[in-house]
Amino acid sequence: MLYLTFVRENVELVKDALDKKGAEADLDELIVQDQKRRDTLYEVEQLKHRRNEASDKIGELKRKGEDASEIISEMQEVSAQIKEMDEEVRECEEKIEEILLQIPNIPHPEAPLGTDEEDNVLAWQWGEVREFNFKPQAHWDLGEELDILDFEKGAKVSGARFTFLKGLGAKLERALIEFMLDIHLEEHNYQEVFPPYIVHRDSMIGTGQLPKFEEDAFKLEGADYYLIPTAEVPVTNMYRDQILQAEQLPIHHVAYSACFRAEAGAHGRDTRGIIRQHQFNKVELVKFVKPEDSYTELEKLVKDAEVILQKLELPYRVLDMCTGDLGFAAAKKYDIEVWFPSYDTYREVSSCSNFEDFQARRASIKYRPHPEAKARLVHTLNGSGVAIGRTVAAILENYQQTDGSVIIPEALRPYMNGLDKIEP
RNA sequence: GGAGAGAUACCCAAGUGGCUGAAGGGGCGGGUUUGCUAAACCUGUAGUAGGACGCUUUAGUCCUAGCGAGGGUUCGAAUCCCUCUCUCUCCGCCA
């Protein structure tokens, strides 16, 4: 969310941002409501001032045992008027809030201009794409043959986009979680948290999932509860409505969690395999930093995520996301995509964003640069470090052998009891 | 799930309708005394949000709101009433 004052004073800039992001919001109505609110507020505050003074007077008169009925009846009228105008102000604020929540973050000036994923810019890439001397199989075929993925059982028990991992598949998933957590804890100095998977509405608003993207989330029936679409939501909201001390920053958290997504707009896409599931595992990195550090921190965040893929020796590329593909809350974003032989392309396994103060403002997360200083909003960042399910799929595809077996990446073997291969 | 008790500023805490725009204490900041420290004494300490005017060789002044949240009663609410949230204690149940 942007500050109302900021929007009021930078209407053109905000309009430009809306264009670049391909978003819409009724700025004209916002300005009208804002003006109406301020006018009414000024008047009603004058009345309240009068009332406060009169109340003191009444108290004084009553203490002296004198008659105050005249001034009381006068104030009865004033109070009724105040009540009415308060209601008017409240209505304006409701409309303003509604529009304000529709306005996306302003893109960073260096974010490439563009309308959709076609316009994303290749930033850099790593690793050699393997040449196969046979036709590589898709991970769902490999997984079924190895009896480590069971799509039928997933569909039977829970429906489409749910899958059972079995035996060494389940172990591989667990090993990756452990492996990634260890790297970020021991080599990158993140602090681990294990968050709740269910949050209430305020938390979803705090990080920007709501109110705009209600249909993407799973809501629990009969309660104001949502299943988290990413650990970003609970971990960022840990610090909601807080003023941090300067020396607490930067805060770097790593959190493993399951993630739940309705995938409402994705009918027919990635219906096979485990690329797009309603429930998947992810190790997430979340940072709270001083504003002046946030872009350095973003670069480091991407590097931290990349290390995982480098250690697993999976070839990947990094995309600098264009303005149209930045999403609602990000000012700048890099996606990391790993190579999938069967798709003959790269698929996203991580998305690293700098939200600047957009989330911090919604969630009211501030810090004091000096003990005496006025509180400022922090900058928040997060990125996957990385998505587990897609990494499993990538390992199956990239490490497959002619006989249908799959080699375990060396870095992962300590987490698999030294196992070097999954065989049919 | 049942019964009860709570929520007041950085912390503890007083406060049942106007003299509380929040006593008192602790902590923290400043000062006096002092060779230094400590002690004692004096003194400051609502952070925030919003608005009006001012400033932009940058600086404030005033107003409004704010005692867990939201409503209500009242000329006036920390105080009375209603709803909700959270915390604690005991019982039950459970991993």
The chain-wide mean pLDDT, for chain A, equals: 92
Residue A287 pLDDT: 96
Give me the CA A373–C1' B46 separation in Å, rounded: 15
Q: What is the pLDDT of residues A49-104, one digit of tens each?
A: 889 888 888 888 888 888 888 888 888 989 999 989 998 998 898 899 889 888 99
Residue A180 pLDDT: 98
DSSP state of A422: E
> Where on the phi/psi map is residue A263: left (φ > 0), alpha (ψ -120 to 50), or beta?
left
Could you tell me if A204 and A226 are in contact, meaning their C-beta atoms sit under 8 angstroms apart?
Answer: yes
Q: Is the CB of A376 under 7 A from strand B?
A: no
Q: Is the CB of A4 under 7 A from strand B?
A: yes
* A229, A263, A271, A276 from A268: Cα distances, Å: 20, 10, 6, 11
Residue A238, helix vs strand vs coil: coil
Give me the CA A239–C1' B16 separation in Å, rounded: 37
Q: Is the CB of A76 under 7 A from strand B?
A: yes
Residue A371 pLDDT: 67
For CATH 1.10.287.40, the residue range(s) in chain A are 4-100
Class of domain A117-422: alpha beta
Is A351 a catalytic site residue?
A: yes
Given A348, A368, A376, A405, which residue is catalytic? A348
Is A261 a catalytic site residue?
A: yes
Please provide residue A110's backbone torsions phi and psi, each rounded to the nearest 5 degrees.
-90, -5
Given A174, A276, A317, A376, which residue is catalytic? A276
Residue count of chain A, please give it: 424
3-state SS track over A156-170: HHCCCCCCEECHHHH
For CATH 3.30.930.10, the residue range(s) in chain A are 117-422
Q: Is the CB of A3 under 7 A from strand B?
A: yes
Could you tell me if A198 and A226 are in contact, meaning their C-beta atoms sit under 8 angstroms apart?
Answer: yes
Residue A311 pLDDT: 98
Q: What is the pLDDT of residues A209-234, one digit of tens each?
A: 887 888 899 988 777 889 999 999 99
Contacts of A311 (CB under 8 A, 6+ apart): A183, A409, A411
Report residues 243-272 of A contacting strand B, contact meaning Cβ closer than 7 Å. Answer: 243
Q: Measuring from the CA of residue A41 to each C1' atom, give the nucleotide at the shortest distance.
A: B51
Residue A62 pLDDT: 84
* A251, A346, A361 from A295: Cα distances, Å: 15, 25, 18
Report residues 274-293 of A contacting strand B, contact meaning Cβ closer than 7 Å. Answer: none
- Those residues of chain A that have pLDDT short of 50 are none
Q: Measuring from the CA of residue A42 to each C1' atom, give the nucleotide at the shortest distance.
A: B51
Q: What is the pLDDT of residues A113-127, one digit of tens each?
A: 999 999 999 999 999
Q: Is the CB of A54 under 7 A from strand B?
A: yes
3-state SS track over A95-162: HHHHHHCCCCCCCCCCCCCCCCHHHCEEEEEECCCCCCCCCCCCHHHHHHHCCCEEHHHHHHHCCCCC
Radius of gyration of the CA atoms of chain A, in A? 27
* A53, A61, A85 from A48: Cα distances, Å: 9, 20, 11
Q: Is the CB of A79 under 7 A from strand B?
A: yes
Q: Is the CB of A375 under 7 A from strand B?
A: yes
Homologous superfamily assigned to A4-100 = Serine-tRNA synthetase, tRNA binding domain (1.10.287.40)
Q: Is the CB of A49 under 7 A from strand B?
A: yes
Residue A63 pLDDT: 81
Q: Which nucleotides of B are covered by protein (CB under 7 A)?
A: 18-19, 21, 47-52, 63-65, 71-72, 74-76
Helix A11-21 to helix A27-63 angle (10° resolution) is 130
Contacts of A152 (CB under 8 A, 6+ apart): none
